[in-house]
């Protein structure tokens, strides 16, 4: 938990920061601007390579929860509320309360809601919500890349369970990686190892074309993180543990990020469609291997509060859970699983090197 700032000061900083952030410019070098990566993530979540951010999470809900639409939803740090509007149009929830501290985002959201004919179904609250405040009960709590901005994620996940009606649903699609982006040495090694395989043309800094991106990826300093946005990844490293504590019934699907979030940051702006497609596919294969080893930056979780009529999440299809041994066999199983993931990572890295050499011979 971050104790350097009060929630009020953090919210003020966040409001200023997010009111000045636009979707243009530097975002060009980020994974969420690359349709192929977005489709890959969606496929990991729902089994289909859908277009659109969080489309896989929405499809998972549709495939899993039979009693849709849910009645009332709530989102904290919902920004312009577009993702909540997408939940409404997908038939997942009827109405949503969106709490957001950045005035510019709220204003933008109201305009979008009017354009989409949803003004009567999305209510914006331009203020900081106190988790101890009595705001009633809801049928859906939606966290979409907002929980990792909370100073105490355990407190907010406890709140999430407390405000849900029986049978209520938690849908989380968020960054769950290292707090303050203090990446582990292992993740830095994996990401730097892959970046070193990239040809020089893919390492040009798209913001400053006369410069190259470093091959060795480093952690930002805490001072840098606080200066940029004091709420960024403030307590993100505790999200998965807190989720297990407050929503033990939730299913979590890791969506990776060591490669596409770290290794390809900024360099992905140089990938040309039709030229580097295979290399990107291999990068995502590497990312999958690391995610399966437990090295993930992002995850999607779906949990439901038990109720008499529907106490469990429905299995949408014939996808049996792997048989995981317990007791004495558990350790050897874990070692075998990790060894398999490492073999997959090494094979994919060798393939990536071969592709890079081929690209180099053509240039």
The whole-angstrom separation of Cα 299 and Cα 348 is: 22
pLDDT at position 160:
97
pLDDT at position 19:
63
pLDDT tier for residue 326 given thresholds of 50, 70 and 90 = very low
The whole-angstrom separation of Cα 347 and Cα 341 is: 10
The whole-angstrom separation of Cα 277 and Cα 283 is: 10
The whole-angstrom separation of Cα 51 and Cα 43 is: 10
Q: Is 286 within 8 Å of 259 (Cβ atoms)?
A: yes
- Cα end-to-end distance, the chain, whole Å: 49
pLDDT tier for residue 62 given thresholds of 50, 70 and 90 = very high
pLDDT at position 156:
97
Provide mean pLDDT across the span 280-284: 94
Provide mean pLDDT across the span 59-84: 97
User: In which order are the strands placed within the sheet that holds 122-125?
Assistant: 122-125, 93-99, 70-76, 138-144, 164-175, 298-304, 251-256
Q: Tell me: pLDDT of 308 over 70.
A: no
Kindly state the DSSP code that residue 208 receives in the 8-state scheme.
S
Provide mean pLDDT across the span 124-129: 94
- Cβ-proximal residues to 231 (8 Å cutoff; 6+ apart), any chain: 10, 11, 13, 14, 17, 149, 150, 151
Q: Provide the token pair at 357.
A: 């050499």
- Domain spanning 7-312+328-362 has what CATH number? 3.40.50.150
Q: Which of the residue ranges 4-13, 133-142, 148-157 would you say has the lowest mean pLDDT?
A: 4-13
pLDDT tier for residue 6 given thresholds of 50, 70 and 90 = confident
The whole-angstrom separation of Cα 343 and Cα 341 is: 5
Q: Is 235 within 8 Å of 183 (Cβ atoms)?
A: no
The whole-angstrom separation of Cα 247 and Cα 252 is: 10
pLDDT at position 271:
95
Mean pLDDT of the chain: 86
pLDDT at position 354:
61
Percentage above 90 pLDDT, the chain: 73
pLDDT at position 262:
97
Q: Tell me: pLDDT of 253 over 70.
A: yes
Provide mean pLDDT across the span 341-353: 63
Question: How is the chain split into domains, by residue range?
Answer: 7-312+328-362
| pLDDT tens-place string over residues 68-77 | 999 999 999 9
Provide mean pLDDT across the span 303-314: 64
Q: Tell me: pLDDT of 229 over 50.
A: yes
pLDDT at position 313:
44
Q: Tell me: pLDDT of 330 over 90.
A: no
pLDDT tier for residue 307 given thresholds of 50, 70 and 90 = confident
| pLDDT tens-place string over residues 85-115 | 999 999 999 999 999 999 999 999 999 999 9
pLDDT tier for residue 349 given thresholds of 50, 70 and 90 = low
Q: Tell me: pLDDT of 11 over 80.
A: no
Q: Encode burial over 217-248: b for 16+ CB neighbours within 10 A, e otherwise.
A: bebbeeeebbeebbbbbbbbbbbbebbeebbe
């Amino acid at each position: 938990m971050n104790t350097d700032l009060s929630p009020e000061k953090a919210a003020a900083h966040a409001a200023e920061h997010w009111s000045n952030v636009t979707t243009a410019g530097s975002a060009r070098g980020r994974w969420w601007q690359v349709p192929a990566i977005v489709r890959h993530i969606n496929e990991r979540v729902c089994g289909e390579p859908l277009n659109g951010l969080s489309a896989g999470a929405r499809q998972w809900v549709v495939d899993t929860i039979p009693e849709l639409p849910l009645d009332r939803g709530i989102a904290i740090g919902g920004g312009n509320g577009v993702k909540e509007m997408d939940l409404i149009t997908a038939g997942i929830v009827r109405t949503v309360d969106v709490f957001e501290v950045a005035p510019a985002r709220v204003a933008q959201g109201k305009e979008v809601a009017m354009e989409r004919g949803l003004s009567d179904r999305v209510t914006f609250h331009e203020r900081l919500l106190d988790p101890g405040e009595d705001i009633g009960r809801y049928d859906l709590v939606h966290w979409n890349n907002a929980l990792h901005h909370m100073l105490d994620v355990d407190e907010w996940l406890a709140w999430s369970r407390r405000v849900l009606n029986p049978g209520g649903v938690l849908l989380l699609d968020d960054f769950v990686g290292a707090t303050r982006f203090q990446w582990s040495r292992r993740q830095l090694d994996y990401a730097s190892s892959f970046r070193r395989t990239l040809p020089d043309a893919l390492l040009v800094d798209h913001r400053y074309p006369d410069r190259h991106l470093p091959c060795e990826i480093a952690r930002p300093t805490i001072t840098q993180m606080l200066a940029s946005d004091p709420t960024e990844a403030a307590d993100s490293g505790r999200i998965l543990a807190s989720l297990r504590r407050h929503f033990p019934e939730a299913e979590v699907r890791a969506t990776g990020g060591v490669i596409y979030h770290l290794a390809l940051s900024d360099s992905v702006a140089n990938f040309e469609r039709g030229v580097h497609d295979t290399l990107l596919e291999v990068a995502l294969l590497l990312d999958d291997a690391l995610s399966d080893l437990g090295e993930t930056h992002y995850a999607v979780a779906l949990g439901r509060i038990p109720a008499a009529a529907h106490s469990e999440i429905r299995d949408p299809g014939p996808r049996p859970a792997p048989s995981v041994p317990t007791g004495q066999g558990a350790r050897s199983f874990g070692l075998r699983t990790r060894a398999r993931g490492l073999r997959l990572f090494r094979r994919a890295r060798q393939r990536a090197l071969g592709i890079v050499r081929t690209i180099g011979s053509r240039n």
